[in-house]
Structure 1
Amino acid sequence: MIDARSILSAISSDVSCKESIVHESGEKVKWYPILKCDPAGLLLGVEQEGKWVVEAKSCLYILSEAGSFWRLVSLLEQPLNDIRSEVAEVFNKSLDVSTNIDDIFPFTDIVRSGLEFGTKHWAEKAFEWYDELLPEKKQHLRDSLTKLETAKWASQKLRQKAKKELKRMDF
């Protein structure tokens, strides 16, 4: 979750927000679009309480748990630095908020979703992003790497990479 008070208070009042109905609760919430997720056609944003949300087919989903970020695995198809730049542009220019994108954007949660998705393709894509994460962010993925190390669906190459990364964390 984003530090809602500091980020949202910095957003100028002329920035338009959207109002959508949350799929799970039927509650109507206001939120700020941040990133269009192609090719899936999803719209990622942040709601007024500071939680990440994704709009899909006119429904809004709150991304409140690590397991709920699976909807964003298609972002792994794009280079991490491209996503980082797009998000930084929205926050720093459109929303007039100066912040470190790595501290607020759920890169780690998206990588976790790819590692745990259960397919070779998404795990490989997740490792492409993983390699570019800050070392302290990689530590948050220890459980995912441990699961991947013994996953029956994973190739030997993926299992070995997970094992190698876990050993690196222990040093």
Structure 2
Amino acid sequence: MDRSVSTEFEIDVGLSIALTEAGAWVIRADGREFRLEEINDFYRVWVLLERPFSEVKAALDQIARSASAVTPFPFAKLIGSALNAKSRQWTDLAMVWVSFLAAAEKATLKGLLSDVRDSKWASQKIRQLARKYVNEIERGDPKRLN
């Protein structure tokens, strides 16, 4: 793995997100690196959902700019990972962030949002919000999706 890191965003003591010189997003923990590529890799950074989206986005965008990264941080994968966990706590936090995604990113979450909408474990409020997002995605109304 490419261990050369251009800059980091500290999440907690000994835990940070970084962008390698090769342009890969990684989580660094206890002296080890784990790539953030597949949706299932993102459970390691769910704690980001406890912070305001604007704060996290600004920090990660700064890292991307500093490294001249081609790929911005994949927020949809982070949100999708939390939704996929079927945990009320993480789903509630992830649903707050969905509204900040671009229409195309929201569309990639349609299946997971449908699962939340149809679930018995999510709160009524969250199921209604998931229904709203799924309806907007299905209508393909870009003004309403953003």
What is the TM-score with the length of structure 2 in the denominator?
A: 0.81
* 1:36 match: 10
Aligned to 1:78, which of 38, 51, 54? 51
Aligned to 2:76, which of 85, 105, 108? 108
Structure 1 residue 117: Cα displacement: 2.3
What is the TM-score with the length of structure 1 in the denominator?
A: 0.70
Residue identity (%): 28
Amino acid at match of 1:116: N
Amino acid at match of 2:39: A
**Are the counterparts in 1 of residues 61 and 73 from structure 2 also a CA contact under 8 Å?**
no
Structure 1 residue 29: Cα displacement: 2.8
SS for the counterpart of 2:120 is coil
CA spacing shift, 1:98–1:116, aligned 2, 3 Å: closer
* 2:109 match: 141
SS for the counterpart of 1:64 is coil
Structure 1 residue 60: Cα displacement: 1.6
Amino acid at match of 1:66: I
Write the distance in 1 (CA, Å) between the matches of 2:132 and 2:95: 12
Structure 1 residue 134: Cα displacement: 1.4
For the pair 1:60 / 2:28, whether they are aligned, the reply is no
Aligned residues: 138
Structure 1 residue 48: Cα displacement: 4.3
Q: CA RMSD in A?
A: 2.2
Pairing of 1:1-171 with structure 2 (within 5 A): 28-32=1-5, 33-38=7-12, 41-92=14-65, 94-95=66-67, 97=68, 104-171=72-139
**Are the counterparts in 2 of residues 124 and 158 from structure 1 also a CA contact under 8 Å?**
yes
Amino acid at match of 2:131: K
**Are the counterparts in 2 of residues 31 and 45 from structure 1 also a CA contact under 8 Å?**
no
Amino acid at match of 1:105: F
**Are the counterparts in 1 of residues 19 and 63 from structure 2 also a CA contact under 8 Å?**
no
Q: What's the CA shift string for 1:122-145, capped at 9, x where partnerless?
A: 111111111111112111111211
Write the distance in 1 (CA, Å) between the matches of 2:54 and 2:44: 20
Structure 1 residue 72: Cα displacement: 0.8
* 1:11 match: none
Q: What's the CA shift string for 1:83-124, capped at 9, x where partnerless?
A: 1111233333x44x387xxx5111111111222222222111
